[in-house]
DNA sequence: AAGTGGTCTAGACCACTCC
DNA sequence: GAGTGGTCTAGACCACTTA
């Protein structure tokens, strides 16, 4: 539990409570206030920002709805645990997904090397050709059998610590979630017939339908990682639940 | 533009602004206030509910964030146009999707009949075996060529008007959006190899990978429709964009 | 010009929970 | 018991937009 700041600058753009929300959000997403950090109390924030309590409260309430902070009476307001891939399409936690289905989860690293981004890769991940990138290939196993094939590229400029991580025991997805707070992700989902290589790795017949999920993840405009997941089409469903606006 | 009510009952559960939000939301989702209806002004709501303006405002602000109402200064607060399938995976508007890609959209109804729900269908759509259901098969065309195959089932108990709709010119998706405000939808996405029937309808080779999207839609706990969309796997991608909480 | 929402304030009381 | 968030109030001024 780190302690928080004594003065915080506003940007003067738009309503006061939005400025306050952005100022606080900034410290959370840029890592200055890591998960667990106690934010100043509402009364302290009133002084820090020179605003009424209702105004400060509006900002904090928003941050809470967005899942960035957790608030408890008497205890205070705290930076929430890693902003998880929440609500819609929980495709982040492959281990949990497999275990929730009653199977034993396994993980095997197949390839790991550092490369320079090609034009195509740079286009996918969002960086520039020539960027140093860590390329990983791994298999997620269900009861020992291949279930999901993961091809991942990590921009080392965005995540230097990844260079020294082995990724031979822990999957890169959870590792990244714990190391960098992401702020935006884009998915692309489509179907392909398995080629020889994919079929061999996933232990299916060539030509079998595979569900492919691609995801690019950013942290504050900076592209971090691009991942392509091959699901055995006959054994996997992505599930999502929606409301017109998210309300109950 | 219908006018609104003169007295509105609260349920007494939880904070005042939540009660107010639920009361207003209820009138919107149950159809008493169809899209375009002007809500009472904040001052009128103060009287209707006996609450301060900030309290009423909090409820309205929420409804706005959830996309249920649109607010304009001087004009007032209005029930929003059909709660569209928004933000995440825009798979509702097939016509727009195809035209956005620079193609000409076409639609062809292939089959239409009224049936009794089998056990499997009842499980998928959420009703009971024996429910009267309108079963539709239709093709969405891109530049005249088959692009998306739609199989849809509509529970006639939930949407009696569907029985007299022809669906030979307009696709059932947009028709439903315009006729019933949905409150929840669940998606399931997977990949299959096209069988003979699907391959013939979609004009692909048997065995080609297809992306399948299934969606069940509810209106206030009542199952309304179940749809299964077959996308040509090589020509379609579903795209989604995410933030940790939806904030900027 | 006037009605409506957008925002902010200063203060209040309550409820919970950690110490 | 005291600190913190949760909620509510009554009033105010402003900004925008439509009639």
Q: Measured between alpha carbons, how far is B127 from B116 in angstroms, rounded to an integer?
A: 11
Kindly state the average pLDDT of the residues A222-239: 84
Which of the given ranges, A41-45, A79-83, A239-243, B242-246, has the highest pLDDT on average? A41-45
Contact A242, A52 (CB under 8 A): no
Cα dihedral value A118, A121, A122, A125, nearest 10:
-160
What is the value of pTM for the model shown?
A: 0.79
- Mark which residues 143-172 of B lie under 8 Å from A by CB: none
CA distance A126 to chain B (A): 15
Whether residue A167 is predicted with pLDDT greater than 70 in this model: the reply is yes
End-to-end CA distance of chain A: 33
User: Are residues A241 and B193, on separate chains, in Cβ contact within 8 Å?
Assistant: no
Kindly state the average pLDDT of the residues A94-121: 87
> In Å, how far from its chain's centre is CA B70?
18
User: Are residues A244 and B66, on separate chains, in Cβ contact within 8 Å?
Assistant: yes
CA distance B194 to chain A (A): 9
The whole-number pLDDT of residue A41 equals 94
Longest dimension (CA), chain A: 66
3-class DSSP state for residue A192?
Answer: strand
- Mind listing the pLDDT tens digit for each residue in A192-219? 999 999 999 999 999 999 999 888 988 8
Contact A197, A112 (CB under 8 A): no
Q: Measured between alpha carbons, how far is B174 from A205 in angstroms, rounded to an integer?
A: 39
Q: Measured between alpha carbons, how far is A193 from A208 in angstroms, rounded to an integer?
A: 5
Whether residue A84 is predicted with pLDDT greater than 70 in this model: the reply is no
Residue B110, both tokens: 């292939």
- Measure CB to CB from residue A244 to each of B67, B187, B189 and give the nearest one: B67
The whole-number pLDDT of residue A1 equals 45
- Is the model more confident about A181 or about B247? A181
| DSSP conformation class of A27 | H
Q: CB neighbours (10 Å) of residue A241?
A: 12
Band of pLDDT at residue A46, cut at 50, 70 and 90:
very high
For residue B207, give the nearest of A150, A194, A138, A212 by alpha carbon: A194
Whether residue A83 is predicted with pLDDT greater than 80 in this model: the reply is no
Strand D nucleotides within 7 Å of a protein CB: 2-12, 15-19
Which of the given ranges, A43-47, A77-81, A101-105, has the highest pLDDT on average? A43-47
Q: CB neighbours (10 Å) of residue A90?
A: 17
For residue A114, give the nearest of A150, A174, A149, A164 by alpha carbon: A164
Name the CA radius of gyration of chain B, rounded.
21
Q: Measured between alpha carbons, how far is B184 from B178 in angstroms, rounded to an integer?
A: 15
Query: What sign for the dihedral angle of Cα A224, A230, A235, A240?
Result: positive
Query: What sign for the dihedral angle of Cα A38, A43, A49, A55?
Result: positive
Contact B227, B203 (CB under 8 A): no
In chain B, which residues have pLDDT < 70?
1-7, 82-93, 239-248
């Amino acid at each position: 539990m780190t302690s928080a700041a004594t003065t915080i600058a506003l940007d003067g753009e738009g309503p006061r409570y939005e400025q306050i929300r952005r100022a606080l959000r900034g410290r959370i997403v840029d890592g200055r206030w890591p998960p667990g950090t106690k934010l100043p109390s509402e009364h302290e924030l009133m002084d820090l920002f020179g605003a009424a309590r209702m105004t400060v409260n509006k900002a904090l309430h928003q941050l809470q709805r967005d899942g960035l902070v957790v608030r408890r009476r008497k205890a205070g307001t705290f930076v929430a645990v890693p902003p998880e891939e929440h609500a819609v399409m929980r495709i982040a936690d492959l281990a949990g997904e497999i275990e929730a289905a009653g199977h034993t989860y396994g993980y095997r690293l197949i390839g790991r090397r550092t490369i320079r981004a090609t034009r195509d890769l740079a286009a996918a991940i969002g960086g520039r050709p020539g960027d140093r990138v860590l390329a990983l290939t791994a298999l997620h196993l269900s009861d020992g059998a291949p279930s999901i094939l993961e091809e991942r590229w990590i921009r080392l400029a965005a995540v230097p610590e990844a260079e020294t991580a082995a990724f031979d025991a822990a999957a890169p997805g959870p590792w990244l979630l714990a190391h960098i707070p992401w702020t935006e992700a884009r998915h692309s989902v489509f179907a392909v017939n398995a080629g020889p290589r994919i079929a061999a790795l996933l232990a299916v017949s060539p030509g079998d339908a595979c569900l492919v999920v691609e995801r690019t993840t950013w942290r504050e405009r900076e592209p971090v990682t691009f991942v392509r997941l091959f699901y055995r089409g006959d054994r996997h469903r992505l599930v999502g639940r929606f409301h017109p606006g998210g309300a109950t």
